[in-house]
Chains A and B, each alone.
Chain A
Amino acid sequence: MSLLEIKNLKTYFHTRAGTTRAVDDVSFSIDKGEIVGVVGESGSGKSVTCHTMLGLLPSPPAKVEGGAVTFDDDDELLHLSPPILRAIRGKRISMIFQDPMSCLNPYLTILDQVAEPILTHENVSREEAERRAIEMMKKVGIRDAEQRAHSHPHEFSGGMRQRAMIAMALVTNPDLLLADEPTTALDVTVQARILQILRGLRDDLGVAVLFVTHDLGVVADVADRVVVMYRGKVVEQGSVLSIFENPSHPYVKGLLACRPTFETKYRILPTVDDFLETEEAPDGSLTLRERPDAADRLAELEKQVATDEHTEALPTTEPLLEVKDLKVHFTSGGGFLGKPKETVKAVDGVDLSIPKGKTLGLVGESGCGKTTIGRAILRLVRPTSGSIRYDGANLASLNPDAMLAYRKRMQIIFQDPYASLNPRLTIEQALTEPLAVHRIGSGSSDRRDRVVSLLEEVGLSSAHLLRYPHEFSGGQRQRLCVARALAVEPEFIVCDECVSAMDVSVQAQVLNLLNELQESRSLTYLFISHDLSVVKFVSDHVAVMQAGRIVETNCAEDLYRNPKETYTQELLDAVPKADLKTLRKRSG
C-alpha cells in the first residue's frame, strides 16, 4: 500500500484575467521510504501540487476543483478539518522550500525555529526539544551546532540555511518529506552535499521524499522513480532508468534531448518543439501530440555531429581580447562612525585571452567573481588594476569618451531578462535607440527596417514592434536583449549567465540562437555561467574560476575529461550524473 496516493487532483486559479488550470487531473503515488522526483518546467504545476496537499495555497485565487489525496490509507488530506490537517503538517508530512533565506523567519533564532515543530506537536519540555533539535542539526552536517544554533538566519550561508530547514523538517520523524526545489538556489558543490544528506536521511530514518525539481540531472541522481509534469498534467511516470532509457511521451523525449549534457552529441540542440505539438482548447484544456516529423528532425540534427573544434589548443595568433592581471576590489564602509572598512577582492589577478570568432567559457560558483570580470571588461565596473587589451588598445586606461568608440564593438547580455529591458519603452523604441545614438542607418524608416530584420534574426517578427516588454515571455525577452545588443553590430559579446534563469527547453533555443549568430556574424563570446554542462556545450575553451582567481584554463574537451586541478575535479564530480551508464549501474 502506498504512503501517499494522489488521484485526479485538480487545482485551478481563478483570477480576473481568467482561470489557470495549474494542476489538471494529476495522479501518482509514493511508497514508504521511496524518493519520487517530480520534474517539470515552470508552469508545470509541480509546486502547486505540493502546496495543495498541505493546504498551503491562498484560497481566493486557488481552488481545488476535484480529486483526492490519500495519506497512509487513512486521511483524505483535501477534506480534513483545519485542526486535524495542522496536526499532520510538520509532524507526519513536512515540507522544505526553495529559498531558505526567505523561508526562515529572520527575527527568530535557528534553534527556536528548528525546535518549534517538536514543541508544537509533542508534549515535551523545551530542553528536550532543543536537545533533539541540536542533534538533528548535527546530523545534517551543521558543525558546532550548539553554538551556532543561537544565531539568526542571515548569519548562515545558503547551504547551512538549507540544512537548517531540512533539520527543521525532519526533527519530528515525519513519514513524508515534500521538498520543493530545495537545491535550485544552491551552488553545485553545495547541492551535491545536500542531495547526499537527503539520501542518507532517507536510508537512516526511512522517510519518503517527494522531490520537486526542474533539473533532470538532479532527479536522476537522487530519485527512485520519476513523475514528469507538463502544464498541469502528468505526461509520464516510471523508474528513473526507464524514463531516461526509453521515454515514451514526446515531451519527455524532448526534455531529455534538449539538455546540453557532457555527453551530448548535438551541435544544434533539439528543442521540445521538435518533438511536441500542443493544442489549446478554448476552455483551457490541452491536447499533446507527438510531431510526426520528430524522428526525421532528430536524425538531421544528429548528422551535424560536433566537430573537433572544441579540442583545439589555444591558437598563437593575436587574440581579440586579452586580459592580464586584472584586479577588481570593492571597498565599503569606512568613514566616520560607519561600519569598519572592508575590501572585497572580487577579482584578484586574472589572465584571460579569447581568439577572434571563438567562445571562452568562464565557469565558477557564486561569488567567485566571474560576473565582475564580464562587467569590468565592458567598463561597467571600474577595474582596480591590470590591463584589458581589446584589439590592441588597453580599455582599462581609456577615458569615457574614448571608450565610447569601443562600446559599439562590445556588448553584454544579462541574466535577468525581466530587468534587462526598460519597461516603459516599446520594442521598436528600445531597438531603434542604439541605432539612433550611434547614427546607424540613414533615417527613421531605414532604421525601422533594420529593427525588423534584427527581430527576424532572433526569431521574432515585426508584429512585436509596438508591444511592451512585460507582454513577452522570459525566453522572448532574452531574444529581444540579443537583438538590441546586435543593433550596434558588435564583434564581441559577454553572455553573463544569460540562460541561467530559464527553463531547459527555452535555454536550448537561446543557446542555438547564440551559436547560429556566432557563425553568421563571426562573433566572439565570453560565456559566463555556473552551469558546467551549458558551458561545455557552448565553449571552445573554458576557464574555471574560484575566489577571484583562475584555477585552470584549457580547451573544453580536455578540461572536462582530464581536469588538472583539484577544484575543477570537485566541480565536475558535483554535477549530478544522469548518463545511462551510471543509471544502469545504480539500479543494479
Chain B
Amino acid sequence: MFRFLIGRLLQGLLVLFALYTITFFLAKAMPGEPFTSEKNVSAETKANIRKLYGLDKPLWEQYYIYPKNIITEGSFGISTSKGRPVGDIIAQSFPNSLLLGLCALCFAIGIGVPIGVLSAVRRNSWVDWTCMAVAMVGICVPSFTIGPLLQIYVAAHVPGIKVAGWGSPQDVLLPAFTLGLVSAAYLARLTRGGILEVLSQDFVRTAQAKGLSPAKVIIKHSLRGGLIPAVAYLGPAFAALISGSFIVETIFQVPGMGQHFVNAATTRDEFLLLGVSLFFGFLIVIMNLLADVLTGLLDPRVRIAGNAD
C-alpha cells in the first residue's frame, strides 16, 4: 500500500510539472508583457517584480525562477488586474470555493448515489425510468440555465434566499445545488451501472443460494463492488466541480477562486492565471490520490496487488 501511495504521489508531481510547463509557455506566448498597460500597480512594484521574476531574462530562466520563488519566497507574483499578490488572492478566495465545493459534493453524493442504487434495484420499472430521465436532465441542461432559473423561481419567491451574494449561511444552498447537479447525475448513472454489473455476477447468485434476504444481498454483497465505479469517478467529479465553479460563482456572485481564474483568462493576467492553475492542479492531484486510496479500501484485489491495472 505504501509503495502504491508513493507511486501515485510521484505521478502527481509529474502532473503538476506538466501542467506548469504547459501553462507557463502558453501564458508567455500571449503577446505583451505583463504590467505594460496596468495602472493598478505602482512603478516601484513593477520594477521589483521585473527583477524578482527576471522578466527581462530569457524564457527558460524565467521558467525555473517561478517555482524557485514559490519555494523560497512563498510568492506567486502579483496579479496585474487586481494589483495584489496572487498568494493573497488565492488565500482569500479559496475558503469560499472550498465551502461551495464541499457542499456541492455532499449534495452530489447524497442525492446521486441513493438514486443510482434505487434505479438499479428497481430496474426497468417506472422508478428507474424516472430517475434516469432526471439524471439525463442534470447532464444535458447546463448549469447556466438551471442557475438563473433557480434564481428567478426560487430565490425571488423564497424569503431568506438571496438571488446572489455570499454572506449568510443559506447563501450556499442554491449555488451548491446548481454546482452539484451535474456530478449527482453522473454519479447516479455510474452507481446504477455499477450495481447492475455486480448484480449480474455469479457471487450474487451464491448469496441468494445461501438464503440471504434481498436487502442483505444488495447491502452486504453488491454495494461494495457496485460503488467502485462511482468512487473512481470522485477524482474526475472533483475536477468537474472545479470547472463548474467558474460558472456558478459568476452567476451567484460567489467570491471564489473560479471567478478569479476566469478573470485572469479574460484579462490575460499572467501571474494570476499561473497561480490559480497550479493550485487547481494541486487540488486535483490530492483528490485523485484520495479516490485511489478509497478504491483500494473497497477492493482488496487492488490493495494487495499494489497497483490497479
Contacts and interface: CB of A to CB of B under 8 A. Distances in A.
A91 B209 CA distance: 10
Nearest to B300: A152
A338 B307 contact: yes
Interface stretch (B48-56, B108-116, B210-218): B210-218
A106 to B, nearest CB: 6
Interface in B193-228: 201-203, 205-213, 216, 220-221, 224-225
Given A107-B224, A154-B301, A337-B7, A54 B209 contact: yes
Given A88-B211, A89-B211, A106-B300, A56 B205 contact: yes
B211 A117 contact: yes
B152 interface: no
B261 to A, nearest CB: 33
B305 A87 contact: no
Interface in A131-168: 152, 154-155, 165, 168
A86 interface: yes
Interface in B1-32: 3, 6-7, 10
Interface string A91-120: 100110101001111111000000011001
Nearest to B6: A337
A262 to B, nearest CB: 34
A89 B209 contact: yes
Interface in B68-116: none
Contacts of B300: 106-107, 152, 154
B209 A102 contact: no
Nearest to B11: A337
A97 B206 contact: yes
A56 B208 contact: yes
Contacts of A99: 202
B65 to A, nearest CB: 29
A339 interface: yes
A120 B210 contact: yes
Contacts of B209: 54, 56, 89-90, 94-95, 97
A90 B298 CA distance: 27
Given A102-B202, A337-B3, A339-B307, A107 B299 contact: yes
Given A86-B211, A120-B210, A120-B212, A105 B203 contact: yes
A121 interface: yes
B211 A107 contact: no
Interface string B286-309: 000000000000111100111100
A529 to B, nearest CB: 27
Contacts of A54: 209
A155 B304 contact: yes
Most-contacted residue by chain A among B205, B216, B298, B305 (CB, 10 A):
B205
A384 to B, nearest CB: 24
Contacts of B216: 120
A152 B202 CA distance: 16
Nearest to B10: A337
Interface string A48-89: 000000101000000000000000000000000000001111
Interface string A308-345: 00000000000000000000000000000111000000
B111 to A, nearest CB: 25
A97 B206 CA distance: 8
B210 A90 contact: yes
A106 B211 contact: no
Contacts of B224: 107
B15 to A, nearest CB: 15
Contacts of A337: 3, 6-7, 10
Contacts of B306: 339
B211 A90 contact: yes
Nearest to B228: A107
B301 A106 contact: yes
Contacts of B7: 337-338
Nearest to B216: A120
Contacts of B221: 105, 108
Most-contacted residue by chain B among A97, A107, A339 (CB, 10 A):
A107
Nearest to B205: A56
B207 A87 contact: no
A454 B230 CA distance: 52
A155 B212 CA distance: 25
A102 B211 contact: no
B10 to A, nearest CB: 7
Contacts of A91: 211
A231 B305 CA distance: 44
Contacts of A105: 203, 206-207, 221, 225
Given A107-B300, A339-B306, A97 B211 contact: no
A102 B3 contact: no
Contacts of B206: 95, 97, 103-105, 165
Nearest to B299: A107
Contacts of B6: 337
Contact of B212 (A88, A94, A116, A339): A116
A86 B212 contact: yes
Contacts of A86: 211-213
Interface in A500-552: none
Contacts of B305: 339
12 contacts: A56-B208, A89-B210, A94-B210, A95-B206, A97-B205, A97-B206, A102-B202, A103-B203, A104-B206, A105-B206, A105-B221, A107-B225
Which 10 A-B residue pairings sit nearest by Cβ, starting from the closest?
A: A90-B211, A89-B211, A90-B210, A337-B7, A102-B202, A95-B209, A105-B203, A86-B211, A107-B224, A103-B202
Given A105-B207, A108-B220, 13 more contacts: A56-B205, A89-B211, A90-B209, A97-B202, A99-B202, A103-B202, A104-B203, A106-B299, A106-B300, A107-B300, A120-B211, A154-B301, A154-B304
